[in-house]
Chain A
Amino acid sequence: MSISEALPGAGPASRPRTLRIRRFDAVERWVHWCTASLMLVLVTTAVPLYVGSVAALVGRRVLLERVHVAAGLLLPVPFLLALAGRRWGSGLRADVARVNNWTWDDRRWVRTWGRDRRARPHKFNGGQKLNAAFVAGAVVVMLATGVVMKWFTYFPDSWRTGATFVHDVVAYLLVASIIGHLAYALTDREALRGITRGWVSAWWARHHSPRWYAEVAGEPLPSVPDAATPWWEESG
């Protein structure tokens, strides 16, 4: 008797639910954790740089600014290096392509925020694709505005003020999206395992990424569930 059978609502008995499915390869995981660490440095240094009462306690403005700028310039490097690697970048490039291309399911998923069961995601749902595109855009904007702020003598005067303003606003939006990302990640252990160990269980994949699971496992997609049926009672 496998572990998952003992869990209530773990799914139909005869399906092998402890099957592991590779979700992210080693390169993708390294990129994720390097980028996440740099993002943590950026957000932590940003607080005393922006919030006056914290600045009054911590001081050291010049040091904090240097650390912040260095981390900001380094942030895209792991991602870009991985993307460019002919051999090692294939997993990342495939996922970037998936995240870029939206189907009806993804648009429907975003419109109903996952509540419409007819919207069946492939590997990533619409919310994840939206978040990824937003963060990618935000990082580029933060880099550009940060460069204008740091090397201000090369740009027209009002651009420095404009860049500071955009940098401040996008920082708030980025922090909000990071909090959302962390909330989802920390409340879904299987999803978290996907990015830490690289694999997820089959039943999680069937629930979270049904089209991807069907493709990977070589199985037909189950028929559209009726909204009233709980997912663990879906029939094949």
Chain B
Amino acid sequence: MATRRPMAPPTPTPPAPAAPTSPVGRRIFLGMAGLGALGIVVGARVQAGIGRALRPLVSDNGLNLGALIPGSDQFRIYSITGSLPYESPSAYRLTVDGLVSTPLTLSLDDLKAMPPARLVRDFQCVTGWRVPSVEWRGVLVSDLLDRAGVRPGASALSFSSFDGAYTESLTLGQARRRDVIVAYEMEGGPVSRDHGGPVRLYVAPMYGYKSCKWLSGIHVVNRVEPGYWEGLGYDVDAWVGHSNGRSDAATSTG
């Protein structure tokens, strides 16, 4: 318990000389700005190093905590609608229509019965993150087109998603490539809902936004119809390293 003492009269102290000051605040501010600028310029290399160091330690598990570490080469989840759409694997249907001789409606089993295509490629997002060497299994879009029979006059494909908003496009030439698939398996397991499952498009040589998620339909058309992300300023032909103002080399296009 504190006791209150009567106040002694203040002892007058001689006026102190003004204390010397240094502008530490400004130095901290400028130092941080300089470090930030340096980080922008060399950050990609630092990130690549961190990704390499973390790779044996983190894995894309259910919680995906690794993705919270800046620079870890983990998938990030983007959705443009409210929450993620869902279709059960048994109810899932993929339609192929438009300028085709035989419109198709394929179930997941129908897709799995077709000759499988397997790709191991990097998944590169246009914002700068990359997941190296992702294993994909599915069906070549080219095989689907052969089965449906493309009619003369067709020159492009439009893709639609059961989220109701995501759309994409490819030219016929791009879609016929051996590294463009309709994927039902990813990293050894079914494509999860988070990653656009049960079935998504995977366009290996292009930035991730071309790989339409929650794929519901492939429409064969006579001209390229730019999709959702193109409407927001991204390039229609999204070649990794040669579009969207970039010229970085993709790490695996083999």
- A residues within 8 Å of B by Cβ? 5, 8-9, 12-15, 50-53, 55-62, 99-107, 129-130, 132-134, 136-138, 140-141, 144-145, 148-149, 152-155, 157-166, 168-170, 172, 219-223, 230, 232-233, 235-236
Contacts and interface: CB of A to CB of B under 8 A. Distances in A.
B41 A162 contact: yes
Given A56-B194, A162-B39, A103 B84 contact: no
A92 B67 CA distance: 40
B8 interface: yes
Given A137-B29, A154-B245, A165-B128, 16 more contacts: A8-B1, A12-B5, A50-B76, A51-B67, A51-B68, A59-B83, A100-B23, A105-B19, A140-B33, A144-B33, A145-B40, A153-B233, A161-B129, A163-B128, A221-B13, A236-B10
Contacts of A166: 36, 39-40, 43
How would you classify the secondary structure of chain A's contact residues: helix, strand, loop or mixed?
Answer: helix
B43 to A, nearest CB: 3
6 contacts: A138-B32, A153-B244, A160-B246, A163-B128, A169-B39, A220-B13
B232 interface: yes
Secondary structure at the B interface, as helix, strand, loop or mixed, is: loop
A53 B62 CA distance: 9
A161 B246 CA distance: 11
B2 A52 contact: no
Interface of B: 1-13, 16, 19-26, 28-33, 35-37, 39-47, 63-64, 67-68, 70-71, 75-84, 126-129, 193-194, 232-233, 241, 244-248
B10 A14 contact: no
A13 to B, nearest CB: 5
A141 B26 contact: no
Contacts of A155: 245
A106 B44 CA distance: 37
Nearest to B32: A137
A162 B79 contact: no
A12 B5 CA distance: 6
